[in-house]
Chains A and B, each alone.
Chain A
Amino acid sequence: MTELTVKVVEILATMAGLPPDQVTPDTTFESLSLDSLDLVELTLMLEDELGVEIDRDDFGELVTVQDAIDAIASTDALAA
């Protein structure tokens, strides 16, 4: 797993109140009971951890953890 994947899984597990090993890239946000506002919060936490600005407004359309990882990885700040 990449550093980004590890961080995303770790943060989402904390937000969902689960151990990290119960969250995988295939896990859906619905199954974690997380909504689009939680995903905004995820990006804020990642911004703090990674020191970059993640400027996306389409998080409501993401379904799985891997979707979020891909979306975040493709932002200008991280893709550069």
Chain B
Amino acid sequence: MSDLVALVTGGSGGIGAAICQALARTGAVVAVGYQGNVSAAEHVAQTCDGQAVAVRINVADENSVAGAMAQAGELGRLGILVNNAGVVDDDLLLRLTPERWDHLMTVNLRGAYLTSRAVLRPMLRARWGRIVNVSSVVGMRGNAGQAAYAATKAGLVGFTKSLAREVARKGITVNAVSPGYVETRMTAGLPERARELLTTFAPIGRPVSADEVAHAVRFLASDEASAITGVDLAVDGGAAM
């Protein structure tokens, strides 16, 4: 991957940082996508072994996506996109307002659509590309209090499979990884009881690490995974069985 640029949205978060580091170790130039926390993104870029640069991107905004793509394109050939940016906003459906529903859809789903559409041109030109969408075990299992979040993550899998079919002949693969419960800043806000339950669901009996998710993403983004497309790879300790 030494001549490739990899853009990782949500690159400053727990899973995103691990993905950036894993891709950098393969020699890819990593664009660490961040929306607001530039210091966290720059810190992640510094912890990457190879070349990495923080790139501001609001995945829900078309102009911001175009700007980030241009910036990433200046680093080399943009061949890998990891759609990892996402928000979580848990509540009982009865209490979830349409505005909160829309926000989840906008960031988690529309974001992946906008970024994927933008990378297809350079990928089609090169007849090579890797798109990896970070979904979630709750997309398949469902989870009380996460109807909207789960809908976005299940939607992401349908998006993955459909786009995979569209571009398969052009050397572009589109896959998803579905992490189980990963201890990150984003999940730190969950009640202790909920975290215990999530761990109980996984036969391995422990949370999944961000690095374990990153290894799966790195594999799907590699040349070795050239015949794997439209897959939703669970990295959940068996939780979705």
Which residues of A pack against B, CB within 8 Å?
Answer: 37, 40-41, 44-45, 48
Our count of residue pairs bridging A and B at CB distance below 8 angstroms stands at 13
- Who on chain B is nearest to A41 by CB? B124
Interface of A is mostly: helix
Which residues of B pack against A, CB within 8 Å?
Answer: 121, 124-125, 166-167, 169-170
User: What are the residues of chain B within 8 A of A44 when measuring CB–CB?
Assistant: 121, 124-125
User: What are the residues of chain A within 8 A of B169 when measuring CB–CB?
Assistant: 37
- Who on chain B is nearest to A40 by CB? B124
User: What are the residues of chain B within 8 A of A41 when measuring CB–CB?
Assistant: 124, 170
Report the bound CA distance from A41 to B121 in whole Å.
Answer: 8
Instruction: Report the minimal beta-carbon distance from A41 to chain B, rounded to whole angstroms.
Output: 5
- Who on chain B is nearest to A45 by CB? B125
Report the bound CA distance from A37 to B169 in whole Å.
Answer: 10
Report the bound CA distance from A45 to B125 in whole Å.
Answer: 7
Report the bound CA distance from A37 to B121 in whole Å.
Answer: 11
Instruction: Report the minimal beta-carbon distance from A29 to chain B, rounded to whole angstroms.
Output: 15
User: What are the residues of chain A within 8 A of B124 when measuring CB–CB?
Assistant: 37, 40-41, 44
- Who on chain B is nearest to A35 by CB? B169
